[in-house]
């Protein structure tokens, strides 16, 4: 049997079936849905090892999941006493035989409903991301623990608390109406972007998992784009941003997983197809009068995919950062703007602006100052690089800082 088939199917199909069952039975019975789907994949593993892989593995999974659901309720009184009542009153399409609809359309509708359920502000950011990874993306507890550099017990408790909070708040798993979409789309996009960001710059050393996180964030965003109600300018802007960032993924790290800085990247490794897709979604995001941070960040990311290092490029990036700071200030945005400023007006002026930020707990801050002082005051550059090294948390970041220190070529006696 193909050893990769079941893990791949688990990644693509687990969350689809869970979403459909949760959508049907409600948030209070989410564990039942998960158990049924887990049993389905266990049955696949055991049966296919003996009888071989069926002609249509996905259809086999769907059929077994349907049968296991029906069998479960035949054996459990909870069906008659609780769930069947909820389905009857919550669904105009109630069918006493319980038709488990695993059509493409119902899967898409169910996943949309689950996205808006999980991305509920009653839970904090980390809880939303952990729950999204688990229920929407099919990630196991160990994988999520790896992503957050945590242990599985902490993640297990975090996910369970998040589920219980949704139950306490009696959050309904249902397709959002136009008012709910307007009220909640910011939270939904924020959670998806946090998921992408955890992948794009993760403190985990697992580079494969990092790419999976980004891919899942993009899949969820595309799901929103495919639905007319959530195909909004800001959704397209977020998708554009993620396409542009992902286009440079292969150039961002060495074979050993070490980060390669932007100016040192091999541009031939940039993915032009993703750049083109990003350009398309950025164009789609320009309809109407909506301007979000995703629009501005996508614009910045677009210019970073333009290979020629021209004054026009950095002037555009600087202007976008200026607008982003006005729209939604953050210290990291201000720090990144300083780098663009150095490209436009030079390092001495950028140093003045950078030092005003005084981000004394941030290794990126000292790393930027180190780079700005290189060739201007190498001893100060060294001082800042050493401070950055002390604050850096990952081996990859420490290695980059070490390489920059070595480039200074300052004798040990003069350090």
pLDDT digits (tens, 9 = 90+) for 347-400: 999 999 999 999 999 999 999 999 999 988 999 999 999 999 999 988 888 989
**Residue 380 belongs to a domain:** yes
Range in 74-88, 188-202, 203-217 with the lowest mean pLDDT: 74-88
When the pLDDT of each residue in the chain is averaged and rounded to a whole number, the result is 87
Residue 250: pLDDT above 70? yes
Asked whether the beta carbons of 175 and 23 are under 8 A apart, the reply is: no
Which pLDDT score is estimated for 253? 81
* pLDDT average, residue stretch 222-227: 94
**Residue 2 belongs to a domain:** no
269 or 94, which is more confident: 269
**Residue 238 belongs to a domain:** no
Asked whether the beta carbons of 214 and 246 are under 8 A apart, the reply is: yes
Range in 176-190, 196-210, 272-286 with the lowest mean pLDDT: 196-210
**Residue 306 belongs to a domain:** no
Range in 9-13, 70-74, 317-321, 370-374 with the lowest mean pLDDT: 70-74
Residue 244: pLDDT above 80? yes
Nearest to 380 by CA among 4, 372, 83: 372
Q: How far is CA 68 from the centre of its chain?
A: 32
* Cα–Cα distance list, 293 to 74, 236, 290, 345 (Å): 51, 12, 10, 25
**Residue 328 belongs to a domain:** no
**Residue 410 belongs to a domain:** yes
Which pLDDT score is estimated for 200? 82
Which pLDDT score is estimated for 233? 97
* Cα–Cα distance list, 374 to 103, 347, 350, 384, 407 (Å): 60, 9, 13, 10, 10
Asked whether the beta carbons of 187 and 204 are under 8 A apart, the reply is: no
Residue 303: pLDDT above 50? yes
Q: What total of structural domains would you count in the chain?
A: 1
How many other C-beta atoms are found inside a 10 Å radius of the C-beta of residue 2? 10
210 or 44, which is more confident: 44
Asked whether the beta carbons of 197 and 294 are under 8 A apart, the reply is: no
Q: What percent of the chain has pLDDT over 70?
A: 90
Q: Name the burial class of residue 378, with classes exposed (0-12), middle (13-18) and buried (19+) by CB atoms within 10 angstroms of its CB.
A: middle
φ, ψ at 259 (rounded to 5°)? -70, 135
Confidence grade of residue 2 (pLDDT, cut at 50, 70, 90): low
Which pLDDT score is estimated for 94? 40
* pLDDT average, residue stretch 66-81: 74
Between helix 363-373 and helix 378-391 the angle, nearest 10°, is 160
* pLDDT average, residue stretch 216-239: 95
Which pLDDT score is estimated for 222? 95
Asked whether the beta carbons of 141 and 159 are under 8 A apart, the reply is: yes
Which pLDDT score is estimated for 88? 47
**Residue 375 belongs to a domain:** yes
Which pLDDT score is estimated for 414? 60
Token digits of residue 199 = 């992948």
Token digits of residue 352 = 């003045």
Residue 186: pLDDT above 60? yes
HEC assignment per residue over the chain: CCCCHHHHHHHHHHHHHHHHHHHHHCHHHHHHHHHHHHHHHHHHHHHHHHHCCCCCHHHHHHHHHHHHHHHHHHHCCHHHHHHHHHHHHHCCCCCCCCCCCCCHHHHHHHHHHHHHHHCCCCCCHHHHHHHHHHHHCCCCHHHHHHHCCCCHHHHHHHHHHHHHHHHHCCCCCCCCCHHHHHHHHHHHHHHHHHHHHHHHCCCCCCHHHHHHHHHHHHHHHHHHHHCCCCCCHHHHHHHHHHHHHHHCHHHHECCCCCECCHHHCCHHHCCHHHHHHHHHHHHHCCCCCCCCHHHHHHHHHHHHCCCCCCHHHHHHHHHHHHHHHHHCCCHHHHHHHHHHHHHHHCHHHHHHHHHHHCCCCCHHHHHHHHHHHCCCCHHHHHHHHHHHHHHCCCHHHHHHHHHHHHHHCCCHHHC
Which pLDDT score is estimated for 92? 40
Which pLDDT score is estimated for 95? 47
Residue 82: pLDDT above 80? no
**Residue 379 belongs to a domain:** yes
Which pLDDT score is estimated for 86? 58
Range in 178-182, 206-210, 238-242, 405-409 with the lowest mean pLDDT: 206-210
- Domain range holding 381? 359-415
Q: What percent of the chain has pLDDT over 90?
A: 54
Residue 93: pLDDT above 50? no
Residue 1: pLDDT above 90? no
Which pLDDT score is estimated for 120? 87
* Alpha-carbon dihedral sign for residues 239, 240, 244, 247: positive
Token digits of residue 316 = 């555009």
Which pLDDT score is estimated for 89? 45
Asked whether the beta carbons of 282 and 302 are under 8 A apart, the reply is: yes
Q: Name the burial class of residue 157, with classes exposed (0-12), middle (13-18) and buried (19+) by CB atoms within 10 angstroms of its CB.
A: exposed
Range in 78-82, 272-276, 283-287 with the lowest mean pLDDT: 78-82
């Amino acid at each position: 049997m193909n050893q990769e088939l079941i893990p791949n199917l688990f990644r693509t199909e687990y969350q689809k079936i869970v979403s459909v069952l949760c959508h049907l039975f409600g948030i209070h019975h989410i564990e039942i849905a998960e158990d049924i789907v887990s049993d389905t994949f266990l049955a696949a593993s055991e049966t296919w090892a003996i009888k071989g892989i069926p002609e249509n593995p996905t259809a086999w999974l769907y059929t077994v999941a349907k049968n296991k659901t029906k069998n479960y309720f035949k054996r459990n009184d909870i069906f008659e006493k609780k769930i069947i009542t909820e389905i009857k009153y919550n669904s105009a399409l109630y069918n006493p035989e319980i038709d488990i609809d695993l059509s493409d359309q119902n899967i898409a509708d169910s996943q949309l409903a689950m996205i808006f359920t999980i991305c509920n502000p009653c839970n904090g950011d980390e809880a939303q991301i952990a729950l999204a990874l688990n229920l929407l993306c099919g990630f196991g507890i160990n994988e999520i623990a790896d992503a957050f550099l945590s242990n599985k017990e902490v993640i297990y408790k975090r996910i369970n608390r998040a589920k219980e909070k949704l139950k306490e708040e009696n959050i309904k798993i249902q397709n959002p109406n136009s008012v709910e979409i307007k009220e909640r789309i910011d939270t939904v996009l924020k959670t998806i972007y946090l998921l992408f960001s955890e992948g794009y710059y993760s403190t985990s050393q697992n580079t494969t998992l990092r790419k999976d996180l980004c891919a899942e964030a993009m899949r969820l965003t595309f799901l929103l784009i495919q639905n007319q109600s959530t195909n909004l300018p800001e959704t397209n802007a977020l998708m554009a941003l993620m396409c542009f960032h992902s286009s440079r993924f292969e150039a961002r790290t060495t074979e050993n997983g070490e980060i390669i800085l932007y100016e040192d990247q091999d541009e031939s490794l940039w993915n032009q197809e993703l750049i083109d897709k990003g350009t398309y979604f950025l164009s789609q995001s320009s309809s109407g009068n909506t301007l979000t941070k995703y629009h501005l960040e996508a614009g910045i990311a677009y210019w970073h995919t333009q290979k020629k290092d021209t004054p026009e490029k950095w002037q555009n990036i600087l202007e976008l950062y200026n607008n982003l700071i006005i729209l939604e200030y953050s210290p990291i945005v201000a720090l990144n703007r300083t780098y663009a400023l150095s490209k436009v007006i030079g390092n001495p002026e950028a140093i003045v602006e950078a030092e005003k930020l005084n981000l004394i707990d941030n290794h990126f801050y000292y790393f930027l100052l180190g780079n700005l002082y290189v060739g201007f005051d190498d001893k100060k550059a060294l001082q800042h690089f050493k401070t950055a090294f002390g604050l850096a948390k990952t081996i990859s970041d420490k290695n980059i800082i070490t390489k920059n220190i070595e480039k200074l070529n300052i004798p040990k006696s003069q350090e």
